[in-house]
Amino acid sequence: MGKILDGKALAKKIRKAVKIETENLIEKHGVTPHLAVILIGDDPASETYVSSKERASKRAGIKSTIIRKNTSISEAELINIINDLNQDKNVHGILLQLPIPKHIDSEKVINMIDPKKDVDGFSNYHVARLNKGFDALVPCTPLGIMEILSEYQIDPKGKHAVVMGRSQIVGKPMASLLLKANATVTVTHSKTQKIKSITNQADILVVAVGKAKMIDESYIKSGAILIDVGISRVDGKLYGDIDFDSVKEKASYITPVPGGVGPMTIAMLLKNTLKCYKNIVK
Ligand code: GUN
């Protein structure tokens, strides 16, 4: 049986450290860290994510404000909101919950967020810095995965890391981080041919495909380290992209769903919010 990579426990530890650091920062500067979240529409998954982010922020002593708008919001209105938040001295982090309605140019609005306040690290400024290997604000999910690997003393150096999925939020930044950590990185996607012949070579396999239980033991090499980014709700139950029962004996390490990558994403958001704060409040 592979060892469980307990993201939930690690996230709890990090949230506790963030809480202590937040208290110290408030005492030192007299300013409370403040995260502003823009939520457009009523997508149930986004609602769940945003309320988890709000709860975790409050528990860590970070102020959070949710700005709710309905899907009829115009691009100009959204840009106005972002500009106001950029200029608001009391706001240190800005998060635009994705997805946003199709009539808004998401690339344009994401890049309107002041890079100093871009807690998601989705702006071109931080994407470029990450790809160049410089210090950057890094998207929370891949950052959380790197923290899990580090906590369990898994060094990617020299390992073949295969990332399934090429999204801006997970796959691409994950590949950059693993490359920066000296892994040999392969990215697969929906057009990849003979995918199992690639995933079977993975020492570290990060799966972010959004298909419940897609990855069974035929995809993995014996002793592989498995990271499951998927969360799908089927008949009220949560499943990852990896079929846990099928792979658990063959893997050396595995993140469970729930309790693996998900809680780490939120913990990293808190860390990124403090990172922004420390860069602004001096
Ligand atoms: N939608 C799904 N995941 C994320 C995320 O990490 N950040 C934002 N802003 N939206 C998301």
Pick the atom of ligand 1 nearest to 141's CA. 6
- Neighbouring-strand partners of residue 205: 162, 226
Domain at 30-116: CATH architecture: 3-Layer(aba) Sandwich (3.40)
Mean pLDDT of 237-252: 97
CA 168 to chain CA centroid, nearest Å: 11
In the chain, the amino acid numbered 141 is T
Q: Where does the pLDDT of residue 76 fall: very low under 50, low under 70, confident under 90, or very high at 90 and above? A: very high
Q: How far is it, in rounded angstroms, from Cα 152 to Cα 226?
A: 13
Residues identified as active-site: 53, 97, 120
Residue from 43, 53, 98, 100 to probe ligand 1 pocket by mutation (most atoms less than 8 Å from CB): 98
Ligand 1: lining residues by beta carbon, under 6 Å: 95-98, 120, 140-141, 169
Mean pLDDT of 139-148: 98
Q: Where does the pLDDT of residue 75 fall: very low under 50, low under 70, confident under 90, or very high at 90 and above? A: very high
pLDDT at 141: 98
Q: What is the mean pLDDT of the chain?
A: 98
Judge if 30-116 and 140-262 fold alike in CATH terms: yes
Q: Where does the pLDDT of residue 28 fall: very low under 50, low under 70, confident under 90, or very high at 90 and above? A: very high
Q: Which of 39, 164, 36, 171 is nearest to 99 (CA)?
A: 39
Mean pLDDT of 212-231: 98
Pick the atom of ligand 1 nearest to 139's CA. 6
Domain at 140-262: CATH architecture: 3-Layer(aba) Sandwich (3.40)
CA–centroid distance, residue 65 to ligand 1 (Å): 16
Query: Phi first, then psi: what are they for 161, rounded to 5°?
Result: -105, 125
Domain spans in the chain, listed from the N-terminal domain onward: 30-116, 140-262
**Percentage of residues in the chain with pLDDT exceeding 70?**
100
Q: Where does the pLDDT of residue 167 fall: very low under 50, low under 70, confident under 90, or very high at 90 and above? A: very high
Q: Where does the pLDDT of residue 238 fall: very low under 50, low under 70, confident under 90, or very high at 90 and above? A: very high
pLDDT at 153: 98
Please, are residues 85 and 57 in contact by the beta-carbon 8 Å criterion?
no
Mean pLDDT of 49-74: 98
Q: SS3 for the chain, per residue?
A: CCEECCHHHHHHHHHHHHHHHHHHHHHHHCCCCEEEEEEECCCHHHHHHHHHHHHHHHHCCCEEEEEEECCCCCHHHHHHHHHHHHHCCCCCEEEECCCCCCCCCHHHHHCCCCHHHECCCCCHHHHHHHHHCCCCCCCHHHHHHHHHHHHCCCCCCCCEEEEECCCCCCHHHHHHHHHHCCCEEEEECCCCCCHHHHHCCCCEEEECCCCCCCECHHHCCCCCEEEECCCEEECCEEECCECHHHHCCCCCEECCCCCCHHHHHHHHHHHHHHHHHHHHCC
Pick the atom of ligand 1 nearest to 46's CA. 1
pLDDT at 45: 92
**Pairing outcome for strands 184-188 and 160-164:** parallel
pLDDT at 202: 99
From its phi and psi, is residue 133 left (phi > 0), alpha (psi between -120 and 50) or beta? left
pLDDT at 27: 98
CA–centroid distance, residue 222 to ligand 1 (Å): 32
> Which residue minimizes the CA distance to atom 2 of ligand 1?
98
> Which residue minimizes the CA distance to atom 3 of ligand 1?
98
Query: Phi first, then psi: what are they for 185, rounded to 5°?
Result: -115, 135
pLDDT at 217: 98
Q: Where does the pLDDT of residue 197 fall: very low under 50, low under 70, confident under 90, or very high at 90 and above? A: very high
Q: Which residues contact 134 (CB under 8 A, 6 or more apart)?
A: none
Count Cα neighbours of 37 within 13 Å in the Cβ-side half-sphere: 22
CA–centroid distance, residue 50 to ligand 1 (Å): 9
pLDDT at 137: 98
Mean pLDDT of 227-251: 96
In the chain, the amino acid numbered 177 is L
CA–centroid distance, residue 97 to ligand 1 (Å): 5
- Neighbouring-strand partners of residue 186: 162
How many residues in the chain?
Answer: 282
Q: Where does the pLDDT of residue 268 fall: very low under 50, low under 70, confident under 90, or very high at 90 and above? A: very high
CA–centroid distance, residue 250 to ligand 1 (Å): 31
> Which residue minimizes the CA distance to atom 11 of ligand 1?
98
Tens-place pLDDT, residues 15-25: 999 999 999 99
Mean pLDDT of 49-54: 97
